[in-house]
């Protein structure tokens, strides 16, 4: 196994073997208990080479503010679907801690490649809320400029974004840029061939990629037990020659600590890493899904007790960092975003059918030109027919 020199030095400082460095901890990293109390160090799941400092209260307070916004965004978007203003919405209700931590662990120059369920992460990265949701209204391509915030378009095809992430990381390395790429996916994505290709390429070329797997227990209706019998999804990392780690995906304190170190290691030249966050999709896969057909209410309620928002609120209240006034301010910030979504998605967009062809290739192919001409001709004839009917009516 070829390990980069930087990683070998880090392993030496930890005083552990290469295998112990690469294999995830037994169990998972968890810092906050389910009731929001800080766990003692000997109960956090850490081991030599896998210790994580607790972020400051200031960092945690900002993370909580974004959690509040994320929950409000999920609720508002679900309502907009019911109102017919969105075609579909894959809610991340219950997974907001993963979403917020993903955005906070990156610098401005780093890249994020999200999935279709990562709208809250995209907004937390700074993308306009209405532009983020344009994709789910179905009116214009991806909805936002990926280069403006270094955020790839939310990927609906499963796992294709991992290959894009690896390509950007490879380009950055060739250019000598100080860039880390966060490649997000779910547990179902780990069953895809693109997952293997992305991890293998990233490991072979020692690329600065953090693969962030949000294991929400189901690939639509297929439970994890029917996808893999590995001890954990994080254990898959060692087979590619990279380190893996497991973390409580509903504990934003642990998520911030683990992802921050993963990004720091990747930036230092240690190669790619894989982080598996154990979380749960509280709502249906999308508004078109009936989750009651493949999971029971007792399971859902058991996970409700692990809610990341409540856990963080209880901890910050106990430290005195979160007061009634601060809570009110955060709720106001969240409602401002919800209002933006209502206002922006309540306006009918002005659509140009020609946009279907303009942004596919830099230089349109003959087939695209032919298709565009056929559509333009059909639209012109429809307009002539309407004009003729209007003159007849008058």
What pLDDT tens digit does each residue of the chain (394 aa) get? 566 676 677 677 778 888 888 899 999 999 999 999 999 999 999 998 899 999 999 999 999 999 999 999 999 999 999 999 999 999 999 999 999 999 999 999 999 999 999 999 999 999 999 999 999 998 877 889 999 999 999 988 899 999 999 999 999 999 999 999 999 999 999 999 999 999 999 999 999 999 999 999 999 999 999 999 999 999 999 999 999 999 999 999 999 999 999 999 999 998 999 999 999 999 999 998 999 999 999 999 999 999 999 999 999 999 999 999 999 999 999 999 999 999 999 998 888 888 888 888 999 999 999 999 999 999 998 787 777 777 777 6
**Is residue 380 classed as helix, strand or coil in its secondary structure?**
helix
Name the CA dihedral angle for 129, 267, 173, 167, rounded to a multiple of 10 degrees.
-40
Instruction: At 56, list the tokens.
Output: 């400051």
Distance of alpha carbon 284 from its chain centroid, rounded?
Answer: 17
* Of the candidates 2, 5, 12, 48, the residue with the CA atom closest to the CA atom of residue 240: 2
Catalytic residue among 206, 285, 311, 313: 285
Question: Any catalytic annotation for residue 107?
Answer: no
pTM for this prediction: 0.92
What are 243's strand-pairing partners? 273
What is the rounded CA–CA span in Å between residue 354 and residue 72?
A: 35
Question: Any catalytic annotation for residue 285?
Answer: yes
DSSP code string of 4-64: -HHHHHHHHHHT--HHHHHSPPSS-B--B-TTSPBPPGGGS---TT---PPPPHHHHHHHH
**Is residue 223 classed as helix, strand or coil in its secondary structure?**
strand
Question: Any catalytic annotation for residue 294?
Answer: yes
Q: Cβ–Cβ contacts within 10 Å for residue 355, how many?
A: 12
**Is residue 213 classed as helix, strand or coil in its secondary structure?**
strand
What is the rounded CA–CA span in Å between residue 378 and residue 157?
A: 31
What are 273's strand-pairing partners? 210, 243
What is the rounded CA–CA span in Å between residue 269 and residue 156?
A: 31
Catalytic residue among 66, 71, 125, 281: 281
Contact yes or no for 18/3 (Cβ under 8 A):
yes
Backbone angle region of 278, left / alpha / beta, with phi > 0 → left and psi within -120 to 50 → alpha: beta
Catalytic residue among 26, 294, 369, 386: 294
């Amino acid at each position: 196994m070829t390990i980069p020199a930087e990683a070998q030095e880090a392993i030496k400082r930890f005083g552990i073997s290469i295998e112990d460095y690469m294999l995830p901890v037994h169990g998972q990293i968890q810092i906050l208990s389910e009731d929001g109390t800080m766990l003692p160090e000997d109960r956090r799941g850490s081991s030599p080479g896998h210790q994580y400092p607790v972020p400051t209260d200031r960092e945690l307070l900002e993370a909580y503010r974004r959690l509040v916004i994320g929950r409000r965004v999920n609720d508002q978007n679900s309502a907009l679907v019911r109102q017919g203003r969105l075609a579909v919405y894959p809610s991340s209700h219950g997974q907001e801690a993963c979403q917020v931590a993903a955005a906070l662990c990156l610098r401005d120059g780093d890249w994020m490649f999200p999935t279709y369920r990562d709208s809250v992460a995209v907004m937390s990265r700074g993308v306009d809320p209405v532009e983020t949701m344009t994709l789910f209204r179905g009116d214009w391509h991806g909805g936002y400029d990926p280069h403006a915030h270094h955020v790839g378009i939310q990927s609906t095809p499963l796992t294709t974004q991992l290959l894009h992430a690896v390509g950007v990381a490879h380009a950055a390395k060739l250019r000598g840029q100080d860039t880390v790429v966060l490649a997000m996916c779910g547990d179902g994505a780990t069953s895809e061939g693109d997952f293997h290709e992305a991890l293998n390429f990233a490991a072979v070329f020692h690329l600065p990629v953090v693969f962030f797997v949000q294991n929400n227990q189901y690939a639509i209706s297929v439970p994890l037990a029917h996808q893999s019998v590995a001890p954990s999804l994080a254990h898959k990392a060692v087979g590619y020659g990279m380190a893996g780690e497991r973390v409580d995906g509903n504990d934003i304190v642990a998520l911030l600590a683990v992802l921050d170190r993963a990004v720091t290691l990747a930036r230092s030249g240690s190669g790619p890493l894989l982080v598996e966050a154990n979380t749960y999709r509280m709502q249906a896969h999308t508004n078109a899904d009936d989750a009651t057909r493949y999971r029971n209410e007792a399971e859902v309620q058991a996970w409700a007790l692990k809610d990341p928002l409540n856990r963080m609120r209880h901890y910050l209240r106990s430290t005195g960092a979160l007061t009634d006034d601060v809570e009110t301010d955060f709720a106001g910030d969240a409602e401002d975003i919800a209002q933006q979504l209502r206002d922006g998605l309540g306006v009918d967009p002005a659509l140009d059918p020609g946009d279907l062809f303009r942004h596919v290739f830099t230089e349109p192919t003959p087939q695209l030109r032919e298709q565009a001409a056929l559509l333009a001709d059909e639209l012109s004839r429809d307009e002539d027919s309407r004009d003729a009917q209007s003159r007849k009516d008058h």
